[in-house]
Amino acid sequence: MVLKTLSADHKASFAQIRKYGNILAEMNPGSMAKVSVNPMFERFFLSFHAMQMGFFKGCRPLIGLDGCHLSSEFGGVLLSAFAIDTDGGIFPLAYCGVLKAIKNEWPKAGNRYCLRHISANFNANSKFSSMDINWMLWKAVEEGNEVRFKQVMERIKGVSVEAYQWLMNIPIERWARHRFDTRIKSDHVTNNISECFNSRIKDDRDKPILTLMEIIMRKVMVRLSEKWVKGEKLSDTITPTARKKLNKAENDVRNLIVYHGRGQYHETCDSYGQRCLVKLSEMSCDCGVWQIS
């Protein structure tokens, strides 16, 4: 009897999902609530207008996508899209419940691969599992310019040509920082921004689809409210995360010797003897970190 009741709840939830989406769209003008059927349910997409405006006005043009499997009677996948706000935190953008994962890519969007997953796949390969290469992979990715990236990759090649080729077969612009689009101003190399939220709903994945949507909506509402309250109390001209980064940069610069060239041009030299040309007017440095972060 209990199983029949639970099954009925799940079926009724799917039967009401279009009505649910219409109500949300009507109560929140500008929001998107789309249901796709063919002829059975395929997917439900939800994005509130406030999320969209928050993304365009206060987030960097980078979207993290992640999916988690639902454990309800009908299964399926919950896809979530998150951006990075001005304080470096996650900003929810949209959700999509589907009966199967979507394989189509966005043709005009650049893609980044999660380095943590690349690293896991690399270590899972029996040919490379015994090699002490993984730390070099992370070091190569963290380099901000091509010269230093190639230097580390050559060290990997010296250990194993096959491991080097395995990594280089993955499009470099998808995982190496020095090839990231400098317009985005984000050096994230993992998908933690999305996965950390999905971990918060792991105990709710067996709920009927409408119940799950309500749970997510309330979690998002609470998070945005908390961020708003913190923002109202700020007395600084920049966000707390930005202030921490600035303070760290001011402390780190003490280890540099700076030579002034002409106008806005400077040369820096660190304790290891590495030199970089800094162009203040162009907000660039040979190390590459300034341009991508």
Q: What is the pLDDT of residue 5?
A: 43
Q: Quick one: three-class SS letters along the chain?
A: CHHHHHHHHHHHHHHCHHHHHHHHHHHCCCCEEEEEECCCEEEEEEECHHHHHHHHHHECCCCEEEEEECCCCCCCEEEEEEEEECCCCEEEEEEEEECCCCCCCCCCCCCCCCHHHHHHHHHHCCCCCCCCCHHHHHHHHHCCCHHHHHHHHHHHHHHCHHHHHHHHCCCHHHCCHHHCCCCCCCCCCCCHHHHHHHHHHHHHCCCCHHHHHHHHHHHHHHHHHHHHHHHHHCCCCCCHHHHHHHHHHHHHHHHCEEEECCCCEEEEECCCCCEEEEEHHHCEECCCHHHHC
Q: What is the pLDDT of residue 6?
A: 38
pTM, two decimal places: 0.73
Among the listed residues 21, 66, 74, the one whose alpha carbon sits nearest the alpha carbon of residue 44: 21
Distance, in Å, from the CA atom of 191 to the CA atom of 282, rounded to the nearest integer, reads 30
Residues in the chain where the model's pLDDT stays below 70:
1-8, 97-109, 194-195
